[in-house]
Amino acid sequence: MPEGPEIWRTADSLTNALKDRPIEDLYFAFDELKDYEAKLKGQSVKNVEARGKALLTFFSNNKVMYSHNQLYGKWMISDSGKQPDTNRSLRVAIHNGKKSAYLYSASDIEMLDREEVDEHSYIQKLGPDVLHPETTYEDVLKQFQSDEFKNRKLTTLLLDQGFVSGIGNYLRSEIMFYAKVNPHKKLREYTDKQQEELARAAYKLTTRSYETGGITNDPKIVKALKRENASYKDYRHFVYKRTDDRCHKCGSIIEEEKTGGRKIYFCPNCQLED
Ligand SMILES: [Zn+2]
């Protein structure tokens, strides 16, 4: 499943394709949304933003489309009118004369008024999203220092969208590595300094992944590995899915472990010595 950085990049592509040009035509597959085909024609898309793993498409008439892709939904963009060649079922199409955006296979689509967005049942439960323009490092740090979460295991919290939204499985392992923490603890068992390191790592790596198109590894290490013709898979991450390979920082062997059905990856030398 895509994580915050990938979802924000989709939002940016949709904004770039749709922004500020009048909508010439629309299509909604679901009966309850059919009325919006007429209501939104002639309006424009102002921008598209991520909220956790959902997308919000803001229209010029104060309407907002909420869509969550779950495991199967997919947006595709094309030059106007050229429908992508796919067997997926089309759920939404927006055409502005220059570009077309198609949403396939998603079933979780709703139309909201702008004022209703923050009250939406999915959105109101979300923790701060690092990539949201209004989120600061302090907002993220507050979560790591909060009493509400202190008795929970770090590995569980980092996947909880109510804690910090947008973090998924690859960011989880990478954040714990970057903060150099032992992954087997509850939040309250980390020192103040480690909680700060974790917040900094969450902020830094989510932003880095967004800017680089998914790379969380240190830019200097990436550069050196590229010179040695390493593959994308080899230089992309510090530890994620690198079981039995050597740590880029210390040369120790990376280990994996299953927690709650999903794997974490860590360097025993960089992370377990405390
Ligand atoms: Zn290491």
Pairing of strands 99-104, 262-266: unpaired
Query: Where does a domain end: 89, 124, 159?
Result: 124
Are residue 66 and residue 144 in the same domain, yes or no?
Answer: no
The pLDDT, as a whole number, for residue 71 is 80
Query: Where does a domain end: 70, 102, 124?
Result: 124
In a domain, residue 212? The reply is yes
CATH number at residue 78: 3.20.190.10
Query: Where does a domain end: 79, 100, 124?
Result: 124
Asked if 218 contacts 180 with a C-beta cutoff of 8 angstroms, the reply is no
CA 187 to centroid of ligand 1, rounded, Å: 22
The pLDDT, as a whole number, for residue 274 is 56
CATH number at residue 163: 1.10.8.50
- Distance of CA 163 to CAs 24, 78, 149, Å? 40, 36, 8
CA 100 to centroid of ligand 1, rounded, Å: 46
* CA 178 and chain centroid, separation: 18
CA 185 to centroid of ligand 1, rounded, Å: 19
The pLDDT, as a whole number, for residue 15 is 98
Are residue 118 and residue 153 in the same domain, yes or no?
Answer: no
Strands of the chain (E only): list them: 25-28, 45-51, 54-59, 63-68, 74-79, 90-95, 99-104, 108-113, 255-259, 262-266
CA 119 to centroid of ligand 1, rounded, Å: 43
The pLDDT, as a whole number, for residue 143 is 98
Retrieve residue 110's tokens.
């709703």
Helix (H) / strand (E) containing 173: helix 169-178
pLDDT band at 72 (very low <50, low <70, confident <90, very high): confident
Are residue 92 and residue 46 in the same domain, yes or no?
Answer: yes
Question: What are 88-123's pLDDT values in tens digits?
Answer: 999 999 999 999 999 999 989 999 999 999 999 999
Retrieve residue 16's tokens.
């770039």
Are residue 155 and residue 262 in the same domain, yes or no?
Answer: yes
Are residue 151 and residue 28 in the same domain, yes or no?
Answer: no
Residue range 31-38: average pLDDT?
A: 97
Retrieve residue 90's tokens.
């089309």
The pLDDT, as a whole number, for residue 53 is 87
Q: Is pLDDT larger for residue 72 or for residue 96?
A: 96
User: Which residues are designated catalytic?
Assistant: 2-3, 53, 262
Structural domain containing residue 168: 137-271
HEC profile of 119-138:
HCCCHHHCCCECCCCCCCHH
In a domain, residue 129? The reply is no
Residue 165 reports pLDDT greater than 80? yes
Are residue 149 and residue 120 in the same domain, yes or no?
Answer: no
Question: What are 183-239's pLDDT values in tens digits?
Answer: 999 999 999 999 999 999 999 999 999 999 999 999 999 999 999 999 999 999 999
Question: What are 127-150's pLDDT values in tens digits?
Answer: 999 999 999 999 999 999 999 999
Residue range 246-258: average pLDDT?
A: 97
- Split into its structural domains, the chain has a count of 2
